[in-house]
Amino acid sequence: MREIKYSEAILEATDQCMADDPSVYIMGLGVTDPKGVFGTTVGLEAKYGCRRVLDMPVAENGMTGIAIGSALAGMRPIMTHQRVDFMLLSLDQIINNAAKWHYMFGGIMKVPMVIRLLVGRGWGQGPQHSQSLQALFAHIPGLKVVMPTTPYDAKGLLVSAVEDDNPVIFIEHRWLHGVTGYVPEEKYRVPLGKAHVVREGKDVSLVASSYMTLEAIKAAEILAGYGIEAEIIDLRSLKPFDEETVIGSVKKTGRLVSVDGAWRTAGFSAEVLAATAEKAFKFLKSAPARIAFPDVPTPTSWALANHYYPRAVHIVNTVREMFGKHTLKVEQVEVKCDVPLDVPDKAFTGPF
């Protein structure tokens, strides 16, 4: 089995989509520069030429509209943004045009495009370089939203996203780019809208996505040491949202912890709880819980950011409380405490 990095999986998916379909092209700041969007676009220009692989003016809103127009006229653009925060300039084009074009013209036209958004985290990225806005996109009818955790899903979901006839928001957490995992060499697809049961368990359902899935996996290992078997569901797609898999799991375990790497209020973690309350209410053995970021912008100082991002220990304690057990001290779960947690956890390199 071949193991490659998440960033390499993205590159391979892009490469294979471009090889198979001449209407696929990729555009974004730095796509052709030596770093190639954290390695995800390296070598594409040499292979497919500067007409299909292009850097662009720093003009996100206009360029998104241009991508949309080209999609209406038969192209399949992939657009990249090195931070979610930079693409906010293009919300008008995405929400008013891309998301609605198919609907507002009575289904006669379509906007097949992928918008790759990288979530920055760590090293003092701060308020304007590390936002996680998946809930915002998932709120908009007409957009699909995916956020893969593993290299396998990154490749398979990107292929599906490129082949899909709708605008797909494809969210990549920066700390996943270096993670390795099993990835087949041939082109394959992971369906949009299907969650993945990462680990089976009978006691509690941990529903997570993207980077937070790795924290959930670590939490489940710790919980197993205390005799609690957690089931982990990696959502993979937020829109469409695979309620069925989540509800099925909660019916089995009777307990839910929804873990989301984003703000708490009106976040996607609330959506998971709402669906559970509506559809699995009578199966719940205890009140479901949310783990999310506090409702404040990301602070820059590592001394604050350390406390901003929830980790495995917080998941563990939330579950323990559900079982009426005392919470563990951070030291009981982690070796390091008062050191900066602003670079990727060495334990999280995979394979996943």
Ligand X SMILES: Cc1ncc(C[n+]2csc(CCOP(=O)(O)OP(=O)(O)O)c2C)c(N)n1
- 74 neighbors 24 (Cβ within 8 angstroms): no
Interface pick for another protein out of 125, 166, 210, 249 (rule CB under 8 A):
125
Q: Which is nearer to another protein, 90 or 213 (CB)?
A: 90
List binders of another protein among 75-94 (CB under 8 A): 85-86, 88-89
Name the binder of 342 from another protein, ligand X, none, CB < 5-8 A by kind.
Answer: another protein
Of the candidate spans 104-112, 118-126, 139-147, 309-317, the one that interacts with another protein by CB under 8 A turns out to be: 118-126
Query: Which amino acid would we find at residue 73?
Result: A
Q: Which is nearer to ligand X, 172 or 215 (CB)?
A: 172
Phi-psi group of 245: left, alpha or beta (phi > 0 → left; psi -120 to 50 → alpha; rest → beta): alpha
Q: Which is nearer to ligand X, 172 or 271 (CB)?
A: 172
Which residues lie below 8 Å from residue 321, measured CB to CB, with a gap of 6+?
327
Of the candidate spans 28-36, 67-75, 178-186, 314-322, the one that interacts with another protein by CB under 8 A turns out to be: 28-36
Interface pick for another protein out of 3, 20, 21, 33 (rule CB under 8 A):
33
Count the alpha carbons within 13 Å of 22 in the hemisphere toward its beta carbon. Answer: 2
Break the chain down into helix, strand, coil percent, rounded to 5: 40, 20, 40
Rounded Cα distance, 102 and 327, in Å: 50
Q: Which is nearer to ligand X, 59 or 287 (CB)?
A: 59
Rounded Cα distance, 320 and 6, in Å: 32
Reduced to 3 states, what is the DSSP secondary structure of residue 221? helix
- 68 neighbors 101 (Cβ within 8 angstroms): yes
φ, ψ for residue 204, nearest 5 deg: -155, 145
Rounded Cα distance, 160 and 177, in Å: 19
Of the candidate spans 192-200, 207-215, 300-308, 316-324, the one that interacts with another protein by CB under 8 A turns out to be: 300-308
Rule CB under 8 A: say whether 34 interacts with another protein: yes
* Residue 172 C-beta: closest distance to another protein, Å: 18
Q: Which is nearer to ligand X, 90 or 150 (CB)?
A: 90
Q: Give me the active site residues, please.
A: 60, 129
Which residues lie below 8 Å from residue 165, measured CB to CB, with a gap of 6+?
110, 112
Query: Which amino acid would we find at residue 249?
Result: S
- 158 neighbors 170 (Cβ within 8 angstroms): yes
Name the binder of 141 from ligand X, another protein, none, CB < 5-8 A by kind.
Answer: none
Interface pick for another protein out of 200, 295, 321, 331 (rule CB under 8 A):
295
Give me the residues that bind ligand X (CB under 6 A), please: 29, 58, 60, 86, 89
Of the candidate spans 6-14, 53-61, 100-108, 187-195, the one that interacts with another protein by CB under 8 A turns out to be: 53-61
Rounded Cα distance, 132 and 119, in Å: 6
H or E element that contains 308? helix 302-308
Interface pick for another protein out of 1, 2, 57, 225 (rule CB under 8 A):
57
* Residue 216 C-beta: closest distance to another protein, Å: 23
Q: Which is nearer to another protein, 98 or 246 (CB)?
A: 98
Q: Which residues bind another protein (CB under 8 A)?
A: 29-30, 32-35, 54-62, 85-86, 88-89, 123-129, 294-297, 299-304, 307-308, 340, 342
